[in-house]
Amino acid sequence: MLKKTASWLLLSVIMLSACSNQAPASTTETPAATTEQSTSNTPATTPESSETATTPATEGTTSTEATTPEQSSESTTAKDTEATAPAEYTYHMNKNYDIVPNEESKETPKKVVLLTFDDGPKEKKMINSMMDTLDKHHAKAIFFVNGYRIKTHPELLKLIHDRGGIIGNHTQDHIVLKHESKAKVTQQIEDTQKLIEDTINEAPRFLRAPNGATNDTVHALAKKHDMLYMNWSVGSLDWVNQKDPDAVISNVMDQLHSGSIILMHELPWTVEALDELLTKLEAKGYTFVDPNAIEPKMR
């Protein structure tokens, strides 16, 4: 009996010892497995995941920075530059009041005329008819306007401007400036300059004295306000041969030469003559100068 008891005690000790050794082994394996999984997964997933997640993101960010903000900024700058860049002047006015190409070429031919109309704006119907004819012939013109007329009908000035007419300063009250004081001349020109700019948000680049009667004060004011003082080299005499469209045409054609600055007025018979006149000019090989292409200084 004693031997059996001793045998059971010995067997129990052996089993307890085995269980005790198995537990630490299991504890050791768990951290080892965790470490291995962590070590294995980290290089296998984190860098790849990081490269996958960050590289495209970085590339995307770089791409976004390179295209969206920078290109947008460059595009805006380009537009701003284009909007504010000065016109490329290809013609100038000489001392004979003729328009001359800076460099004669197919793009800037010598056989040109400049169309100008004085003493408006008067009537919506006449203005629209004139602009329709100019559009038909792909022509532009300078409209030398009076301040007192603008005060009465500012909408007519806006109509000319909105339809592509170039606005010129023709003084406030259409008086003969060479007989007036410096103060009066200044008032006549500068009041009209401001009125035009306030009405169409654009200052005139051209000045013409009524009757072409100019003096040093007029020229000094033109220079002060960056305007080109402009008389004419061909008169239509539409203010003399009234109600006679044919006389308007013949007067222009008789005096016609390369570079002619043609003086006309906003008058019913001139409006009636305009389409035929421009057709005859084109038949003789003349084209129409865009006033925006003319330098602001005489030379």
**Active site positions, annotated:** 118, 265
Q: Does residue 121 have a cis bond before it (omega within 30 degrees)?
A: yes
Strand order in the sheet with 294-298: 99-101, 91-93, 294-298
d(CA 280, CA 252): 10
Q: In which element (H, E) is residue 246 found?
A: helix 245-255
Spatial distance between the Cα atoms of 91 and 77, rounded to a whole number of angstroms: 28
Distance CA 252, CA 138 (A): 19
Q: Are strands 260-265 and 99-101 parallel, antiparallel or unpaired?
A: unpaired
31: buried, middle or exposed (CB in 10 Å: 19+, 13-18, 0-12)?
exposed
**Burial call 237-254: b when 16+ CB within 10 Å, e when fewer:** bbeebeebbebbbbbbee
Query: Which residue, chain included where needed, has tokens 């010129």?
Result: 168
Q: Residue 105: helix, strand or coil by DSSP?
A: coil
Beta-carbon contacts of 204 under 8 Å, excluding residues fewer than 6 positions away, are: 167, 168, 169, 193, 196, 197, 227
In the numeric block, which tokens belong to residue 35? 């470490």
Strand partners, 287: 112
Q: Are 212 and 231 in contact (CB under 8 A)?
A: yes
Q: What is the dihedral of CA 171, 176, 180, 185, to 10 degrees?
A: 20
> Comparing C-alpha atoms, which of 129, 87, 127, 90 is closest to residue 110?
90
